[in-house]
Amino acid sequence: MFVATLLTAPSKPSLDPALVESLRNAWGGGDAQWLAPDEAAEFSLSQMPDNRWDVWADLQGMGVDLVIQPAEGRRKKMLLADMDSTMIQQECIDELADEAGVGERVKDITARAMNGELDFDGALTERVGLLKGLDESVIAKVLAERITLMPGGRALLATMKADGAYAALVSGGFTAFTAKVATELGFDENRANTLLVADGKLTGDVGRPILGREAKVQALKEITARLGLSHDDVMAVGDGANDLGMLGLAGAGVALHAKPSVAAECDLRINHGDLTALLYVQGYAKTEFVGI
């Protein structure tokens, strides 16, 4: 058995009941269950539809996300999340670069790295090198003035944790940012790269080993082993090429507002919903959300 979930942006809930009913009829699905009025609905399916991606593409044009997945085991026991452009709305290194006066140069490298055009480790060291000499106090300034949480993050963490799930934040970014974001949202642990500082200024380098794509996969393996969970128990979420390893290994790998080349490799793609979409695809109704 499978479950089809349709959802829209919570800021503009526009899921038409007629659309849900039409698709349910076309695919011979079970009765539609509304998880949130005008925002999210689901119905069961006995088999995976052959035209799933054609329908998905049509729905994208209407501002509707479609996720179809096996019904069994979709409520996960662990969340493994990327940070930049996933749990927060910015790329931390780009914001630091703006303060250092090298914003455009760094943003270009970031975009190419996240799209998989550049080696992550090399791209990171090149970008951090451009920050050499930046005052360490700028980190606190960026955190206070430039970093905003992705909508739905608080509800996602609070709801999954209330249901007994473990939450880990794994980032190719920096511990100075993950520590604050993890505390604010309620993650159980966080892993990231360390910006090296000497005499109150960034040295232009990061601690080794660099946490990139393979380190995120390793985090998934280590944490599940420690908790006695299987990889299938994990929902991973990210948006960049360095997230593909963990997205592929997790039982549910969600590409959230991801680069097209990244989304193309994932079965669970959210382009219109916010982080609460990760609750809807697990079958949580909005009335079950915690922390909203």
Given this model, what pLDDT does residue 114 score? 87
**Backbone phi, then psi, for 217, in 5-degree steps?**
-65, -45
Q: What is the mean pLDDT of residues 237-243?
A: 95
Given this model, what pLDDT does residue 291 score? 83
Same domain, 81 and 56: no
Q: What is the mean pLDDT of residues 234-261?
A: 96
Q: Is 267 a catalytic residue?
A: no
Same domain, 136 and 40: no
- CA pair distance 43, 146, nearest whole angstrom: 40
- Residue 288's domain is classified under what CATH number? 3.40.50.1000
- Residue 22's domain is classified under what CATH number? 3.30.70
pLDDT band, very low/low/confident/very high, at 19 (cuts 50, 70, 90): very high
Longest CA pairwise span in the chain (Å): 67
Same domain, 44 and 108: no
pTM value is 0.96
Residue 52 has pLDDT above 90, yes or no: yes
Domain count for the chain: 2
- Residue 292 vs residues 48, 87, 289: alpha-carbon distances, Å: 34, 16, 7
Same domain, 129 and 241: yes
Given this model, what pLDDT does residue 67 score? 98
Which tens digit of pLDDT belongs to each residue from 106-151?
999 999 988 889 889 999 999 999 999 999 999 999 999 999 999 9
Which tens digit of pLDDT belongs to each residue from 263-273?
999 999 999 99
Given this model, what pLDDT does residue 288 score? 98
Same domain, 119 and 53: no
Q: What is the mean pLDDT of residues 89-100?
A: 95
Spot the catalytic one: 84, 121, 233, 239. Answer: 84
Same domain, 52 and 173: no
User: Length of the chain, please?
Assistant: 292
Of 72, 89, 113, which residue constitutes the final position of a domain? 72
Residue 176 has pLDDT above 80, yes or no: yes
Of 53, 72, 91, which residue constitutes the final position of a domain? 72
Q: Which of 4, 62, 9 is nearest to 29 (CA)?
A: 4
Given this model, what pLDDT does residue 197 score? 97
Same domain, 290 and 170: yes
Which tens digit of pLDDT belongs to each residue from 185-236?
999 999 999 999 999 999 999 999 999 999 999 999 999 999 999 999 999 9
Q: Is 82 a catalytic residue?
A: yes
Which tens digit of pLDDT belongs to each residue from 145-173?
999 999 999 999 999 999 999 999 999 99
Same domain, 16 and 104: no
Same domain, 47 and 157: no
Same domain, 22 and 131: no
Given this model, what pLDDT does residue 164 score? 98
Note down the domain range covering 23.
1-72
Given this model, what pLDDT does residue 149 score? 98
Q: What is the mean pLDDT of residues 235-262?
A: 96
Same domain, 98 and 141: yes
Of 72, 101, 129, which residue constitutes the final position of a domain? 72
Query: Terminal CA-to-CA distance of the chain, rounded, Å?
Result: 31
Q: What is the mean pLDDT of residues 29-38?
A: 98
- CA pair distance 239, 261, nearest whole angstrom: 10
Spot the catalytic one: 54, 58, 65, 82. Answer: 82
Residue 292 has pLDDT above 80, yes or no: no
- Looking at every residue in the chain, the average pLDDT score rounds to 96
Same domain, 212 and 281: yes
